[in-house]
Structure 1
Amino acid sequence: MTDRDRADSCRGPYGGEAGPGHCGDPARFEVARHGRAPLRVCPVHLGPSLLMADGVLWPPDISLIR
Protein backbone atom coordinates (compact mmCIF):
# COMPACT_ATOMS: atom_id res chain seq x y z
CA MET A 1 0.00 0.00 0.00
CA THR A 2 1.45 3.38 -0.98
CA ASP A 3 1.35 6.59 1.07
CA ARG A 4 -1.33 7.94 -1.27
CA ASP A 5 -3.47 4.82 -0.78
CA ARG A 6 -3.20 5.23 2.99
CA ALA A 7 -4.11 8.93 2.75
CA ASP A 8 -7.15 8.11 0.58
CA SER A 9 -8.34 5.25 2.81
CA CYS A 10 -11.38 5.41 5.04
CA ARG A 11 -10.60 6.56 8.60
CA GLY A 12 -14.08 5.84 9.93
CA PRO A 13 -16.01 5.73 11.96
CA TYR A 14 -13.94 7.19 14.81
CA GLY A 15 -11.19 9.05 12.97
CA GLY A 16 -8.24 7.11 14.33
CA GLU A 17 -4.92 7.25 12.55
CA ALA A 18 -4.82 3.70 11.13
CA GLY A 19 -5.85 2.33 14.51
CA PRO A 20 -8.96 0.35 15.42
CA GLY A 21 -11.84 1.29 13.16
CA HIS A 22 -9.64 1.96 10.11
CA CYS A 23 -11.44 0.01 7.38
CA GLY A 24 -9.08 0.63 4.44
CA ASP A 25 -11.81 1.09 1.81
CA PRO A 26 -11.44 4.12 -0.47
CA ALA A 27 -12.62 7.36 1.12
CA ARG A 28 -15.38 9.12 -0.82
CA PHE A 29 -16.38 11.84 1.64
CA GLU A 30 -14.62 14.34 3.86
CA VAL A 31 -16.29 15.43 7.10
CA ALA A 32 -15.16 18.73 8.65
CA ARG A 33 -14.23 18.66 12.33
CA HIS A 34 -13.52 21.35 14.91
CA GLY A 35 -9.88 21.50 15.98
CA ARG A 36 -8.96 18.34 14.07
CA ALA A 37 -8.09 17.34 10.54
CA PRO A 38 -11.07 16.55 8.30
CA LEU A 39 -12.19 12.94 8.50
CA ARG A 40 -12.13 11.01 5.21
CA VAL A 41 -14.64 8.17 5.15
CA CYS A 42 -16.20 5.60 2.83
CA PRO A 43 -20.00 5.51 2.22
CA VAL A 44 -20.44 2.77 4.86
CA HIS A 45 -18.83 4.88 7.60
CA LEU A 46 -20.30 8.28 6.66
CA GLY A 47 -23.33 7.92 8.95
CA PRO A 48 -21.44 6.43 11.92
CA SER A 49 -18.74 9.10 11.64
CA LEU A 50 -21.36 11.87 11.91
CA LEU A 51 -22.65 10.32 15.14
CA MET A 52 -19.47 9.06 16.82
CA ALA A 53 -16.31 10.81 15.57
CA ASP A 54 -14.71 13.50 17.70
CA GLY A 55 -15.18 17.15 16.78
CA VAL A 56 -17.74 16.73 13.95
CA LEU A 57 -19.43 20.06 13.25
CA TRP A 58 -23.21 20.33 13.49
CA PRO A 59 -24.84 20.75 11.11
CA PRO A 60 -22.24 18.59 9.40
CA ASP A 61 -20.04 19.94 6.63
CA ILE A 62 -19.59 17.04 4.19
CA SER A 63 -17.69 17.16 0.89
CA LEU A 64 -17.60 14.59 -1.89
CA ILE A 65 -13.90 13.99 -2.62
CA ARG A 66 -14.13 11.35 -5.36
Structure 2
Amino acid sequence: MSVHRNARCRGPYGGEGDQAGGTGCDDPAVFEVARYRLPALRVCAVHLGPCLLLASGVLWPPEITLIGRP
Protein backbone atom coordinates (compact mmCIF):
# COMPACT_ATOMS: atom_id res chain seq x y z
CA MET A 1 0.00 0.00 0.00
CA SER A 2 2.91 2.38 0.46
CA VAL A 3 3.56 2.59 -3.30
CA HIS A 4 0.67 5.05 -3.76
CA ARG A 5 1.13 6.95 -0.50
CA ASN A 6 1.61 10.30 -2.26
CA ALA A 7 -1.22 9.84 -4.75
CA ARG A 8 -3.84 12.60 -4.65
CA CYS A 9 -7.55 12.27 -5.29
CA ARG A 10 -8.64 12.82 -8.92
CA GLY A 11 -12.38 12.37 -8.35
CA PRO A 12 -15.14 12.41 -9.04
CA TYR A 13 -14.65 12.83 -12.80
CA GLY A 14 -11.04 11.79 -13.25
CA GLY A 15 -9.69 15.08 -14.48
CA GLU A 16 -9.89 14.40 -18.22
CA GLY A 17 -9.53 17.16 -20.79
CA ASP A 18 -8.78 20.63 -19.46
CA GLN A 19 -8.92 19.26 -15.90
CA ALA A 20 -6.11 16.73 -16.56
CA GLY A 21 -4.11 17.90 -13.56
CA GLY A 22 -6.86 16.89 -11.13
CA THR A 23 -10.07 18.32 -9.77
CA GLY A 24 -8.93 20.35 -6.80
CA CYS A 25 -9.36 17.74 -4.07
CA ASP A 26 -6.20 17.73 -1.93
CA ASP A 27 -7.05 14.59 0.03
CA PRO A 28 -4.86 11.51 -0.41
CA ALA A 29 -6.22 8.77 -2.67
CA VAL A 30 -7.49 5.73 -0.79
CA PHE A 31 -9.07 3.73 -3.63
CA GLU A 32 -8.21 2.95 -7.23
CA VAL A 33 -11.13 2.36 -9.62
CA ALA A 34 -10.46 0.43 -12.85
CA ARG A 35 -11.72 1.99 -16.09
CA TYR A 36 -12.09 0.78 -19.67
CA ARG A 37 -9.32 2.10 -21.96
CA LEU A 38 -8.44 4.81 -19.44
CA PRO A 39 -5.95 4.87 -16.58
CA ALA A 40 -7.28 3.74 -13.23
CA LEU A 41 -8.85 6.55 -11.23
CA ARG A 42 -7.40 7.19 -7.77
CA VAL A 43 -9.93 8.74 -5.39
CA CYS A 44 -10.46 9.58 -1.74
CA ALA A 45 -13.25 8.03 0.33
CA VAL A 46 -15.52 11.06 -0.26
CA HIS A 47 -15.28 10.81 -4.05
CA LEU A 48 -15.54 7.02 -4.37
CA GLY A 49 -19.33 6.97 -4.76
CA PRO A 50 -19.54 9.94 -7.14
CA CYS A 51 -16.76 8.58 -9.35
CA LEU A 52 -18.60 5.26 -9.74
CA LEU A 53 -21.62 7.19 -11.02
CA LEU A 54 -19.99 10.06 -12.93
CA ALA A 55 -16.50 9.17 -14.17
CA SER A 56 -16.12 7.96 -17.72
CA GLY A 57 -15.18 4.36 -18.49
CA VAL A 58 -15.80 2.88 -15.04
CA LEU A 59 -16.24 -0.88 -15.33
CA TRP A 60 -19.44 -2.51 -14.14
CA PRO A 61 -19.42 -4.28 -11.80
CA PRO A 62 -16.76 -1.89 -10.51
CA GLU A 63 -13.24 -3.08 -9.75
CA ILE A 64 -12.10 -1.18 -6.67
CA THR A 65 -8.69 -1.62 -5.04
CA LEU A 66 -7.68 -0.28 -1.64
CA ILE A 67 -4.37 1.57 -2.09
CA GLY A 68 -4.09 3.51 1.16
CA ARG A 69 -5.68 4.45 4.43
CA PRO A 70 -7.76 7.58 5.06
Report TM bin, short chain.
0.7 to 0.9
List alignment gaps of at least 5 residues for structure 2: none
Higher strand share: 2
Q: How does 1:1-66 map to 2 (within 5 A)?
A: 5=6, 8-16=7-15, 17-19=20-22, 21-66=23-68
The CA deviation at 1:24 is 1.8
* AA matched with 1:47: G
Alignment length (residue pairs): 60
Q: Identity percentage over the alignment?
A: 65
Q: Deviations over 1:18-43 (max 9, x none)?
A: 24x33121000000000000000000
Residue 49 of structure 2 aligns to a residue whose secondary structure is helix
Q: TM-score, normalised by structure 1?
A: 0.84
CA distance in 1, matches of 2:12, 2:25: 9
Q: Relative CO higher for 1 or 2, CA cutoff 8 Å, sep ≥ 6?
A: 2
